[in-house]
Structure 1
Amino acid sequence: MALNFTEIEQKWQTKWAEAKAFEADMKSTKPKYYALDMFPYPSGSGLHVGHIASYTPADIISRYKRANGFNVLHPMGYDAFGLPAEQYAIQTGIHPAVTTRKAIESFRKTLQTFGFSFDWSREISTCEPDYYKWTQFIFLKLYERGLAYQKEVPVNWCPALKTVLANDEVIDGKSERGGHPVIRVPMKQWMLKITDYAERLLKDLDNVDWPERTKEAQRNWIGKSEGARITFQVEGEKDTFEVFTTRPDTLFGVTFMVMAPEHPLVKAIMTDPQAAAVENYIFDTSKKSEVDRKATTEKTGVFTGAHALHPITGEKIEIWIADYVLMDYGTGAIMAVPGHDARDFEFATKFNIPIKRVVEGGEALPFEGEGTMVNSQFLDGLTKTDAIKKMLAHLESKKLGLREVQYKLRDWLFSRQRYWGEPFPIVDFPNGVQKAVPANELPVLLPEVADYEPSDTGEAPLAKIHDWVRYKGAANGGEEGRRITDTMPGAAGSSWYFLRYIDPHNANAPFSADSEKYWMPVDLYVGGPEHTVGHLLYSRFWMKVLFDCGLVTHDEPFKKLAHQGMILGPDGEKMSKSRGNVIPALDIAQTHGTDAVRTFVCFMGPLDKDKAWSPTGIDGVKRFLDRVSRLVVNDDGGYVATQTPAPTEIVKLVHKTVKKVTEDIESMSFNTAVSAMMILVNELYKMDCRSEEALRPLVQVLAPFAPHLAEELWEKMGGKGLCALAPWPKYDPALVTDDTVTIGVQVNGKMRGTIEIAADASESDAVAAAKEVAGVSAVLAGKSPDKVIYKAGKILNLIVKV
């Protein structure tokens, strides 16, 4: 390469920093644009090319928007609390803060090496006290509004990690981090009442520009259902229990009930002969995670010995327990209609429970389609819709049930029995009194500990710091209390970090009202789809709470969302140390240059698709950038670009390229943008054209992809100021339209040749040109076509009767 990419990268990174080229301006009169990447967890393993592929899209958009006159906020920070650093501390004895800060330094160096146009003056880390002070502040807002509470609930307990995990942190019955087995046990935990926002979280998905698959995944996770809550009496007891069903029309088809093994009534209603079997089944179920119970295909269960009474007929119905019913979904009990539900049918068949048909419309049972009601007394002959309406009216008139809307969404389990997280700003006092610490005592600092290991019983490491646990402060008039020793999950700090970037040095508030009003919402958010029902849902919830508190002016944080695909190893597998297929970012940068890496990860394919790393592919992109360089300078570094006007064909292609790259950046179709620039470079070489008239706009549209090379060539061509801040080139609409087009000519639908005509040529001109084509004239044999199908610039089909 005529230009030394290492020297160029260092040179322009220094110049950008000195000029503060990428710092956002709160006093600017320009329109704002907020581009955000999902910030990384700073692990010791460093960044690989997959990370570079994650951060390049938003950087391209940021650079493009700056060139188009926007005041751009493009920040970076670190999601720094969480399990990995703490696990490492347990193994090595090194404090998590030490390993985290070391990892952050490594990440920062790599990101700066790749020339990402981050506003480094706004860098944040969620583990720093001046950040988590405000995480605690927002938690107190939740607490004050009754949205944060403690409750004993069945939780996902990981014995290996010795902590509770949220549902989205458990994959196939194992912890997301480490792949350790997870079991269900009852524990007192902090919960956030996200369910209070279920309807708004569902409805407002219509107001954001997100991938439809992501919105649909959130809709399914929230899981809105409309139906009836029906009360059943336990035979011979005063006890009643409730079920929720979306099909109250099938009530006459109920032949058994199923309760979750954890249902509080189970042990009260089980009969003596069944007690041992029930107790054993409850114990076995406790060893299964919620995910395992949902995923299981084999139906298991135990009869309690008790019966319920049908609310209309008074018929006795067996009450069973089974692990496929979950206590924290619905009411923890279901009415089973095996004639019209495949899951219930499988269970009834296995345990020889009667099956009734109440919907006519199919030969075999279970029949789950639409039909006419039968064997259902006053519902007979009705359609499903009419039967639901009539049954709901009957249940309400007899006070046997109520119309109800339910959601699958559960409250957010918000505490961890670990050290490396935000302490809760809550104190327990004698006699059951619980109070928040005053705002002027924030942050509640995370103390030093000698032992990071939590206890086998679930007590957190902070419980061992007795001086810290003992509280004497203003929360309760100086009376001694006990601090909460659990810590918040990693998702706490990441649920609002986008708001801290807008005013990161504010010591008096998490952010100012003026900053929020100007910068929010985020215009573009780029990150992986794996956060769909975790981070993305939690952030929306916190934003809506802050909106209700009057602290923000928007209740959705991210206007547009884009997911990038994964960069796989050269073997087509996910990059991992165990497979040995990881491509470290700095290693490939040293051999090919950061501009080549940036451009290649864009060229590999569509943004949202997974792509395998190709060593030969990046070689090709590096050659492309070398060729761009040699259009401006020769192998000796001499300037070879000229002031000579470019040929008309090149001028038109340049304008077409500017148009294409502009549109492709807007649509985030980066691979085709790079292709368009490659085509232009090939034509420049074919015509031996080194005119600055063609090269200046080429360098400018290349700049978001290969910023260091673009700056160097821009300087050599005498460009004013930084290329990164130069106005984006404009294209002339008159020069991007072809004067002539080549279209195929068909006779009776069969291709007979092509013609080159004006793009807007008339039908008669097109037919006249077609008759001059040998293959066409041979078929027509001097005759005129009987019919002509013609679309200007696209198709010509001559129909001749045979």
Structure 2
Amino acid sequence: MAEYRPNEIEKKWQKVWEEKRIFETSDDKSKPKFYALIEFPYPSGEGLHVGHPRPYTALDIVARKRRLEGYNVLFPIGWDAFGLPTENYAIKHKIHPKKVTERNVARFKEQLKSIGFSFNWSREINTTDPEYYKWTQWIFIKLFEKGLAYKAEMPINWCTSCKVGLANEEVVAGRCERCGGEVVRKTKNQWMLKITEYADRLIDDLDKVDYIERVKTQQINWIGRSEGMEVDFRIKNKDDVLKVFTTRPDTLYGVTYMVIAAEHPLIEKYKDEIENLEEIRKYQEYASKKSDFERTELSKEKTGVEIKGIKAINPVNNIEIPIWISDYVLMSYGTGAIMAVPAHDSRDWEFAKKFGLPIVEVVKGGNVEEAAYTDTESGILVNSELINGLEVKDAIEKISYWLEENGLGKRKVNYKLRDWVFSRQRYWGEPIPLVHCDDCGWVPVPEEELPVMLPEVENYEPTHTGESPLANMPEWVNTTCPKCGKAAMRETDTMPQWAGSSWYFLRYLDPHNKEKLARKEEIEYWMPVDWYNGGMEHTTLHLLYSRFWHKFLYDIGLVNTVEPYNKRTSHGMILGENNEKMSKSRGNVVNPDDIVKEYGADTLRTYEMFIGDFEKSVPWSENGVKGCRRFLERVWRLQEIVVDGDEYTKELETVIHKTIKKVSEDYETLKFNTAIAALMTLLNEFNEIGKITKADIKTFLILLNPVAPHITEELWEILGFNGMLNQSQWPSYDEEKIQDEIIEMPVQVNGKVRGVIKISPDATQDVAREKAKENESIMKYLQDKQIVKEIFVVGKIYNIVVK
């Protein structure tokens, strides 16, 4: 027997699969389809680390199993290649982002192929390919035509050193993550997408899909739908009001102050009457240096300044209350103003305690001055003239009605979700396909002129004015209006990285089509995606954005399903051996190339699936890798004990059928570690007996193949089985042959035992009934009788009541 040489075996079979185009999708639409989707990777300069192959291997296992079950499988791959990381790298190293992208894609592709994934490479896509972003631009134009894309003044995070707008996650402690420069808030005219129009559908339609609960919860919480009242607080001696949204109007008597955003227009309007304007200006500057995320999520210490010179009036009791500004209130959320109820809200309580503001209990629950705020989901109202003595639910209804009757408020549904900021003042992104004409306003580029190509430029660095580098290209910017023919200017902002990833799953269906996004017959056959797997970090925004785009495409008749993904699962990260997230700075990154070279791709795949619960994060272990290599070496040596035989070895029959059942079910429920453990147990049984038939090992190889496809294909060929393993059939199990034991269950008729049936200890009532019908001694007591009741206790007794 030759030595197990994984590098030779794996290269051999990868070449065979590629040359024979084994994993290309069939055009035969009479077969049942299975569309497996991974989050297509962002090709960074560092290449893959061992955490990346984990989700790919998981769906590769399912895709390989489905092919063996007779499905027409689509398992595609592509590149999410626009965006800031590549551009930042390009700027730092003075290399054009296009060249950086080409190099990174080639590196990723080489790595993925070396691991043996069964991707359909003929459908490979790249978001930076003009033939791809032509359709991204086309979708944007459709959104614009339907009024879902518009321009508005919006604050952005501005790095004073890089001279560029930053995403929230790129701001750390008020400084740019890349260069460390100071970040300030700057108002820019930005393109927005009206995702809020779809807020209700994005929540309600979650009932139509098979997503794990934590993913659904993230979606619902991010949208943040809440029903309540919009209440008017008059400004003392002014005609103006401050509008606030609250889900708890019953606590209005407990409002002792108000807080508005540092950017609230009220400050500019009444700046001449504000007595401490200089103090307010200093605080505004302080708040401008924080991202929205830092202001709302990270801020523990409460800060703020009272606006002296103006007061608000509480609408339910006409008491004057102070108005403060604080960074934890945002203009971009709600009305930019909140009513503070410190007795019953943790954030308001902390703020009131710090600045010595009044705390008034309005829902009975203890001494809030002595302890802390009190949870008010239920309780009796106190200190609240109109609603004293009422339960919270009744109090909310009564005060809401009173506010409406007196013109002081109205019922409203509110959302945390904001419209999607869709502009980036950067070079490396899809050009927005609109031109601005002084007479016609914003006009879309005609479809026949798409794509609007990203021009080749020598200088792709951000400008000092905050405009996109494209703004410095007059020969590209200056054009004519498609509507009236007069002089016009192209939009110089580019789209965010989210754009290309919001619809890529549709382009895989028909990636080379130059006339349409995808043919109707391809969409109708393949959609929705049957199974989509990705990281938990993308189950909020990416999932939300792609669902929004798909619903829009459904509304304009382009797709046939209201949801893009039928099933969504997520995986845990692989951590470094030190139990920390893998990163170059921590020095704990493991390169999959090194593992493939030393141990083989099948060992890497097996270990990534055996390492632990797929949905949880787990640390990498070199010893674990070695253990999986030893397992595969033992599999390799099975060829020494194989004898001819078309039937399972009698002593192994039960365990083989059990293993088929276990592995089949575990692959479908992401329990890859226990599936591999079952195969390890079966391998031990083989070695214990010391001799196995070709039927035994044939089933074993098929079950292991999705995890370790190279070694199993090689052994299949060595053992002389017909064709290639990947063209065989997934084994089935016999339910009767997986039972460990048979019990004798007494069967009673009207409380008296009339016979005994032999069944498995976990058999159902239906099985017991069928067995009873086969027993003559029982049936003679049932003839010509009407069954009125059946009492069945699993594994214990079956009593039939007749009359």
Provide the TM-score with structure 2 as the length reference: 0.89
**One-letter code aligned to 1:279:** R
1:329 CA drift (Å): 0.9
How far the C-alpha of 1:209 sits from its partner, in A, is: 1.5
* Aligned residue pair count: 747
SS in 2 for 1:700: helix
Equivalent position to 1:662, from 651, 661, 664: 664
- Shift of the alpha carbon at 1:386? 1.0
1:15-54 matched pairs, under 5 angstroms = 15-54=16-55
Matches for 1:190-339 after TM superposition, within 5 Å? 190-270=191-271, 271-294=273-296, 295-304=298-307, 305-339=309-343
Query: 1:48: how far off?
Result: 2.0
Structure-2 residue corresponding to 1:768: none
Which residue in 2 is equivalent to 1:533?
540
Alignment partner of 2:452: what SS?
coil
The answer as to 2:508 corresponding to 1:508 is no
Q: Secondary structure at the match of 2:338?
A: strand
Is the contact between residue 649 and residue 692 of structure 2 (CA under 8 Å) also seen in structure 1? no
**Structure 1 counterpart of 2:723:** 721
CA spacing shift, 1:172–1:649, aligned 2, 3 Å: farther
Contact (CA 8 Å) 2:649, 2:696: kept in 1 or not?
A: no
Contact kept, 8 Å, 1:197 with 1:541, in 2: the verdict is yes
Aligned residue number for residue 486 of structure 1: 493
Structure 1 portions without partners, runs of 5+: 635-639, 742-756, 763-789, 795-802
2:748 aligned residue? none
The structure 1 residue matched to 2:466, chosen from 455, 458, 462, is 458
- Give, in angstroms, the shift of residue 737 of structure 1: 1.1
| Pair 1:476-2:483 in alignment | yes
Distance between the aligned counterparts of 2:27 and 2:161, measured in 1? 48
Distance 1:364 1:571, change over 3 A: closer
Distance change in 2, residues 1:186/1:670 (3 Å): same
Q: Is contact 2:274–2:310 with CA below 8 Å preserved after alignment?
A: no
Residues 675-707 of structure 1: CA deviation (Å, up to 9, x unaligned): 111111111111111321211000111110111
Whether 2:566 is the aligned partner of 1:563: answer: no
Q: Which structure 2 segments of 5+ residues have no match?
A: 744-757, 764-791, 797-803
- How far apart in 2 are the matches of 1:69 and 1:175? 52
Name the counterpart of 1:679. Answer: 681
1:593 maps to amino acid: G
Deviations 1:35-57 (A, max 9, x none): 01111111121122211212100
Change over 3 Å in CA distance of 1:163–1:553 after alignment to 2: farther
Q: Is the 8 A contact 1:522 1:558 kept in 2?
A: yes
Residue 759 of structure 1, CA deviation: 6.0
2-structure distance, mates of 1:69, 1:340: 60
Question: Identity of counterpart residues, as a percentage?
Answer: 50
The question of 1:394 aligning with 2:402 is answered: yes
Q: Deviations along 1:389-440, whole A, 9 cap, x unmatched?
A: 1111111111111000101111111111111000000111125711111111
Residues 761 and 545 (structure 1 numbering): CA distance in 2 closer, same or farther, change over 3 Å? closer
Q: CA contact under 8 A between 1:24 and 1:73: conserved in structure 2?
A: yes
Structural RMSD (CA): 2.4
Q: Are the aligned partners of 2:192 and 2:423 in contact in 1 as well (CA < 8 Å)? A: yes
- Matched AA of 2:379: G
Shift of 1:251: 1.6
Q: Where does 1:93-112 land on structure 2 (aligned, <5 Å)?
A: 93-112=94-113
Counterpart of 1:787 in structure 2 is: none
Q: Is the 8 A contact 1:570 1:614 kept in 2?
A: yes
Q: CA deviation at 1:175?
A: 6.2
- Quote the residue 2:451 is aligned against: 443
User: In 1, Cα distance between the equivalents of 2:292 and 2:124?
Assistant: 38
- In structure 2, what residue type is equivalent to 1:278? I
Note closer, same or farther for the CA distance 1:254–1:645 as it changes in structure 2 (3 Å cut). closer
Aligned-pair CA distance for 1:186 = 1.8
User: Tell me, what secondary structure is at the counterpart of 1:134?
Assistant: helix
The answer for the alignment partner of 2:787 in structure 1 is none
In structure 2, how many angstroms separate the alpha carbons of the residues matched to 1:47 and 1:187? 36
C-alpha distance 256-171 of structure 1, shift in aligned 2 (>3 A): same
Structure 1 residue 174 displacement after superposition? 6.2
Q: CA deviation at 1:760?
A: 4.9
Deviations along 1:537-579, whole A, 9 cap, x unmatched? 1111111111111111112111111112111222222222222
The TM-score normalised by the length of structure 1 is 0.89
Where does 1:567-586 land on structure 2 (aligned, <5 Å)? 567-586=574-593
Q: Which amino acid counterpart does residue 501 of structure 2 have in structure 1?
A: S
In 2 relative to 1, CA 736–157 (structure 1 residues): closer, same or farther, beyond 3 Å? same
Distance change >3 Å, CA 170–CA 531, structure 1 → 2: farther
Change (3 A) 1:603 1:213: same
Residue equivalent to 2:623: 616
Query: Residues 731 and 289 (structure 1 numbering): CA distance in 2 closer, same or farther, change over 3 Å?
Result: same
Q: Amino acid of the residue matched to residue 431 of structure 2?
A: P
- More displaced 10-residue stretch of structure 1: 342-351 or 390-399: 342-351
Q: For 1:647 and 1:512, locate their aligned partners in 2 and report how far apart those are by CA, in whole Å.
A: 51
Please state if 1:62 is matched with 2:66.
Answer: no
| Structure 1, 232-241 or 530-539: larger mean CA deviation | 232-241
Farther-moved stretch of structure 1 (663-672 vs 493-502): 663-672
**SS where residue 76 of structure 1 aligns?**
strand
Q: Which residue of 1 is the match for residue 362 of structure 2?
A: 358
SS in 1 for 2:423: coil
Contact 2:361–2:368 (Cα < 8 Å) also in 1 = no
What is the CA distance between 1:173 and its match in structure 2?
5.7
Alpha-carbon distance between aligned partners in 2 of 1:525 and 1:687, rounded to the nearest angstrom: 42
The amino acid that maps onto 2:30 is T
Q: CA deviation at 1:177?
A: 6.9
Matches within 5 A, 1:175-190: 182-190=183-191
Q: CA deviation at 1:469?
A: 0.7
Partners of 1:150 and 1:188 within 8 A in 2: yes
Q: Assess, with a 3 A threshold, how the Cα gap between structure 1 residues 376 and 685 changes in structure 2: closer, same or farther.
A: same
CA contact (8 A) 1:159 1:456 kept: no
1:596 equivalenced with 2:599 (yes/no): no
SS, match of residue 411 in structure 2: strand
8 Å CA contact retained: 1:168, 1:533: no
Question: Residues 736 and 586 from structure 1, CA distance in 2 versus in 1: closer, same or farther, beyond 3 angstroms?
Answer: same
Distance 2:170 2:60 in 1: 30
Paired residue secondary structure (2:322): strand
Residues 36 and 75 in structure 2, CA contact (< 8 A), matched pair in contact too: yes
Q: Distance in 1 between matches of 2:648 and 2:223?
A: 59
Q: Give CA-to-partner distance per residue, 1:127-172, whole Å, 9 cap, x none.
A: 0000000000011111111111111112233445543344466577
| Distance in 1 of aligned mates of 2:55 and 2:732 | 29
Contact 2:173 2:290 survives alignment (8 Å): no
Secondary structure of 1:318's partner?
strand
CA distance in 2, matches of 1:358, 1:48: 56
CA distance in 2, matches of 1:648, 1:361: 71
CA deviation after TM superposition for structure 1 residue 213, in Å: 1.4
Residue 302 of structure 2 aligns with an amino acid whose one-letter code is: K
Q: Is the 8 A contact 2:29 2:525 kept in 1?
A: no
Deviation per CA, 1:589-631, whole angstroms, max 9, x where unpaired?
1111111111111111111111222212111111111111111
What SS does the aligned partner of 1:527 have? strand
CA distance, structure 2, for counterparts of residue 232 and residue 214 of structure 1: 38
Provide the rounded CA distance (Å) in 2 between the counterparts of 1:2 and 1:461: 59
Matching residue's letter, 2:421:
L
CA offsets 1:469-519 (integer angstroms, 9 cap, x no match): 11125x233211111111111110001000100110110111111111111
Q: Which residue of 1 aligns with 2:392?
A: 384
Is the 8 Å Cα contact of residues 182 and 289 (structure 2) preserved in structure 1? no
Q: Which residue of structure 1 lines up, in the alignment, with residue 799 of structure 2? A: none
- Between stretches 22-31 and 172-181, larger displacement belongs to 172-181
**Following superposition of structure 1 onto structure 2, how do residues 62-211 of structure 1 map, counting pairs within 5 Å?**
62-167=63-168, 182-211=183-212
